[in-house]
Chain A
Amino acid sequence: MSVIDWVDERLDLTEVRQFVAEKGVPVHAQKIWYYLGGMTLFLFSVQLFTGILLLLYYRPSAAEAYESVQFVVTQVKFGWLIRNVHSWSANLLIALAFAHFFSVFFLKSYRKPRELTWVSGMLLLFLMLGFGFSGYLLPWNELSFFATKVGTGIAGAVPVIGRFSLRLLRGGDDVTGATLSRFYGLHVAVLPALATALVGVHLLLVQRQGMSVPIDVEKKLKPGERLRQMPFFPNYILRDVLAWYLVIAVLAALAAFYPWELGTKADPFAVVPPGIRPEWYFLAMFHTLKLVPSHVLGIEGERLGVIAFGIAALFLVLVPFLDRRASRGERSPLFTVLAALGLVYLISFTIIGRYAK
């Protein structure tokens, strides 16, 4: 008797078997975008796995954090590989999450009945940025130390709760070992717990509702006609695995040939070195805040910028509820234009932010 039979006899796998047999993926010209979510998910699991491995040697204190990372990359066998993969995978994950976000935005896959999938996805994107922000500080090097000072300083510009949230993030008035402890707790416990739960919800919704078909493709169908479906097992999952192999190849090449710098140990009393920049995915935001004048209509510029980003984030979460045309299954060019503008803004400001003095 096979293992599956043994389990089946006890748990009755009829439903699972039915699900596996029936699950299909619609076949059409834009189905290439379906792979991005799976690739992001794959990188999320890489992060969990390598993150747990790094925990074996990492020490979260201002006195030891830098040295412990140094120990991992210089003394521990393959420690350099694990750390490089973790750092590169984090960046690829955010890049792919953004690509996934924009593909869903352009294809209007968020429209009824998938509003909640979009909301959970947006929250996941924010969580990933939180992962990036908190993880950046953990090696306790000069760059990350000052970038965290600036980043948490921005939180201080939030109206009303600014000072409160700044102190909450930093664990005091300044970025110190207390900040490191907090970011560590966030990075290895709070965020993973939230993200894992949200990923579960996100996937459950995707499974329950199946893949969304773009409006244009839907419109071309004759009444009563159904799109051709590809079986998920094994046809589609094997293609997914192929995409994951592509990710592994890129990741391995980056980790092997472009080691992630550790830099010099953070010194709170050192002069800020020139060229302090956040990670690339915060550059657009960072550069925008630099451009806002110090006072606009009597409001502090920084504060205005933070309010604007808050409104933009809220808008993004609410897109499926605001795009009424897409909900009715009609073409919705306004939101296509908005997505395009957002994409152009992000790309151009990231590049300008990278090279601006």
Chain B
Amino acid sequence: MITIGDLPPRDGVGRSEFDRRHFLDALLIVGFTSTAAAIAYPVGRYLVPPESGEPATASVVAGRAGALRANSAAIFKFGSKPGIVVRTAEGELRAFSAVCSHLDCTVQFKSDTSQLWCACHNGTYDLAGNVVSGPPPRGLETFRVNLRGEGDDAEIVVSRT
């Protein structure tokens, strides 16, 4: 930074010269600061990515009812994020967001314990989406499951509750 103002006044130059330098210094600082701000503002806005134009998904078809055996699960696409649909040992269908509430890893179904398990940090959820053990702070988001059609060909329709 230019510090002309810090210099002592030259010989024979009085107080007014000193003030003039202070004034010019201030003018320079204001000028440079405004320039920096005029650049920083658009750049700052530019760095923030625009909201994706994709509307929030309300409902998707997760597969055919016949394709999912008891005590198994399948991952499906719910908008831009993964979901998981589980058929319990009793034959009931349940669907959850497959995004672990801890650090966004994708959970999987463990058929031996009948639990949803996150491989990243060993978090487990029961088949109601509640945390059983491990670091996840919240349960999984649960979705509503409906069947459209009859028998094995019925579509599993998953929707946000």
The yes or no verdict on A and B being binding partners is yes
A→B interface (CB under 8 Å): 53, 56, 75-79, 81-82, 234, 238, 245, 248
Cross-interface CB contact of B46 among A76, A234, A248, cutoff 8 Å: A76
Cross-interface CB contact of B50 among A76, A81, A234, A245, cutoff 8 Å: A76
Instruction: Assess the A81–B42 pair: CB atoms within 8 A.
Output: yes
Residues of B within 8 A of A76 (CB): 46, 49-50
> Does B15 interact with chain A (Cβ within 8 Å)?
no
Closest to A238 in B: B2
Closest to A234 in B: B2
> Does B4 interact with chain A (Cβ within 8 Å)?
yes
- Please give 4 more A-B residue pairs, beta carbons under 8 A apart, in addition to A82-B43, A245-B35: A53-B46, A76-B49, A78-B46, A79-B46
- Cα separation A248 to B53 with both chains bound (whole Å): 34
Q: How many residues of B contact A (CB 8 A)?
A: 12
- Cα separation A258 to B4 with both chains bound (whole Å): 40
From DSSP, what is the main secondary structure of chain B's interface residues?
helix
Cβ distance B150 to chain A, nearest Cβ, rounded Å: 42
> Which residue of B2, B45, B47, B50 has the most chain A CB atoms within 10 A of its CB atom?
B50
- Cα separation A248 to B36 with both chains bound (whole Å): 12
Residues of A within 8 A of B46 (CB): 53, 56, 76-79, 81-82
Closest to B4 in A: A234
> Does B13 interact with chain A (Cβ within 8 Å)?
no
> Does B48 interact with chain A (Cβ within 8 Å)?
yes
Closest to A56 in B: B47
Residues of B within 8 A of A79 (CB): 46
Instruction: Assess the B43–A78 pair: CB atoms within 8 A.
Output: yes
Instruction: Assess the B4–A78 pair: CB atoms within 8 A.
Output: no
- Cα separation A79 to B50 with both chains bound (whole Å): 10
- Cα separation A248 to B47 with both chains bound (whole Å): 21
- Cα separation A81 to B46 with both chains bound (whole Å): 9
- Cα separation A75 to B47 with both chains bound (whole Å): 12
Cβ distance B47 to chain A, nearest Cβ, rounded Å: 7
- Cα separation A75 to B4 with both chains bound (whole Å): 45
Chain B contacts with A in 52-105, Cβ cutoff 8 A: 53
Cβ distance B10 to chain A, nearest Cβ, rounded Å: 15
Cβ distance B22 to chain A, nearest Cβ, rounded Å: 15
Closest to A237 in B: B2
- Cα separation A79 to B46 with both chains bound (whole Å): 6
B23-35 interface code vs A (CB 8 A; 1 in, 0 out): 0000000000001
Cβ distance B103 to chain A, nearest Cβ, rounded Å: 24
20 pairs, CB–CB < 8 Å, chain A vs chain B: A53-B43, A53-B47, A56-B47, A75-B50, A76-B46, A76-B49, A76-B50, A77-B42, A77-B45, A77-B46, A77-B50, A78-B42, A78-B45, A81-B42, A81-B46, A82-B43, A82-B46, A234-B2, A245-B35, A248-B35
Closest to B51 in A: A75
- Cα separation A238 to B24 with both chains bound (whole Å): 12
Cβ distance A8 to chain B, nearest Cβ, rounded Å: 15
Closest to A82 in B: B46
Cβ distance A131 to chain B, nearest Cβ, rounded Å: 22
Residues of A within 8 A of B45 (CB): 77-78
Closest to B52 in A: A75
Residues of B within 8 A of A75 (CB): 50, 53
- Cα separation A234 to B24 with both chains bound (whole Å): 13
Closest to A85 in B: B42
Cβ distance A84 to chain B, nearest Cβ, rounded Å: 11
Cβ distance B85 to chain A, nearest Cβ, rounded Å: 32
- Leading 6 A-B pairs by shortest Cβ distance: A78-B42, A77-B45, A78-B46, A75-B50, A234-B2, A78-B45
Residues of A within 8 A of B50 (CB): 75-77
- Cα separation A266 to B20 with both chains bound (whole Å): 59
Closest to A252 in B: B38
- Cα separation A53 to B47 with both chains bound (whole Å): 8
Residues of B within 8 A of A77 (CB): 42, 45-46, 48, 50
Residues of A within 8 A of B48 (CB): 77
- Cα separation A201 to B95 with both chains bound (whole Å): 64
Cβ distance A285 to chain B, nearest Cβ, rounded Å: 35
Closest to B53 in A: A75
